[in-house]
Amino acid sequence: MAVTTRTPLIAGNWKMNLDHLQAVATVQKLHWTLKDAGHEGDSVEVAVFPPFTDIRSVQTLIDADKIPFALGAQDLSAHDSGAYTGEVSGAFLTKLGVKYVLIGHSERREYHAESDEIVNAKVKAAIRSGLVPVICIGETAEDLERFGASAVPADQLAKALDGVSASSDVVVAYEPVWAIGSGQAATPSQAQDVCAALRKVLASALDEDAAARTRVLYGGSVKSGNIASFMREPDVDGALVGGASLVVDEFAAIVRFEKHVGV
Ligand code: PGA
């Protein structure tokens, strides 16, 4: 694999937490906490994924105060516009300055019956709208027992990328379902093995260049105490953080993982 520099991405998935007032307070506090700690913004990209109703408020704050965080959404419609009550189009998100969108998070797959086909349609919709899809994949505990760790996520990723052009900008988030919100993270070497396997899928579904430049994140019970060990792995390029992203000091410590990696 070609050696490249992939800027680490630390992404906070707030799920259905924090209203727009709490969102503004949280982003402000995170910004000041990182500044006070002397964190330099360039070496790590920070992204927050608030609920839809918070996005406009967070965008306004980020723009006004020149806060160097990227904005993400937690979902989008597979359609661009029309009679789809309750859905949000990728074009609307782009207009709000949104850069990233989570697609196929295990909670969407489980509670909203999102199939691999829907995930693929949403990935294409995101790219059409100029958004960067953060494609979430991962095996359940049963999958792990039956097929090992890589087979299901590799299959999900190949299906998500079906018909996607090799020049597309995407992010992959490997999140074992059994590790999400459980307090039981994968081990760094488990995460590395699967992330390396997913990079091979990127090479075959897209091309070698895409495999070398695309960031593959680990997610599932990431916290300040384990982030450095994940980030030491060569194929782990960042983290998708749920619960710990709601606690400002904890998320700021995760963003500052470099202090502990010893690079
Ligand atoms: P967790 O969630 O960090 O709370 O385990 C991760 C996620 O669902 O993205």
Structure tokens at 118: 């829907």
* pLDDT band at 77; cut points 50, 70, 90: very high
Assessment of whether the complete model's pTM goes beyond 0.95: yes
Q: pLDDT at position 7, please?
A: 97
Test site for ligand 1: of 16, 48, 111, 175, most ligand atoms within 8 A of the Cβ? 175
CA proximity to 176, closest of 194, 202, 155, 158: 194
* pLDDT band at 261; cut points 50, 70, 90: confident
Which helix (H) or strand (E) is 248 found in, with range? Answer: helix 248-255
Is 105 a catalytic site residue? yes
When the pLDDT of each residue in the chain is averaged and rounded to a whole number, the result is 96
Distance 64 CA to ligand 1 centre (A): 29
Q: pLDDT at position 262, please?
A: 58
Which helix (H) or strand (E) is 259 found in, with range? Answer: helix 258-261
Structural domains in the chain plus CATH codes: 9-260 (3.20.20.70)
Residue with tokens 């608030």: 50
> What whole-number distance in Å separates Cα of residue 154 and Cα of residue 139?
10
**Pocket-forming residues, ligand 1, beta carbon under 6 Å:** 13, 175, 180-181, 219-222, 240-244
- The yes-or-no verdict on residue 4 having pLDDT over 90 is no
Strands (E), the chain: 9-13, 45-49, 69-73, 100-103, 132-137, 171-174, 215-219, 238-241
Percent of the chain with pLDDT over 90: 94
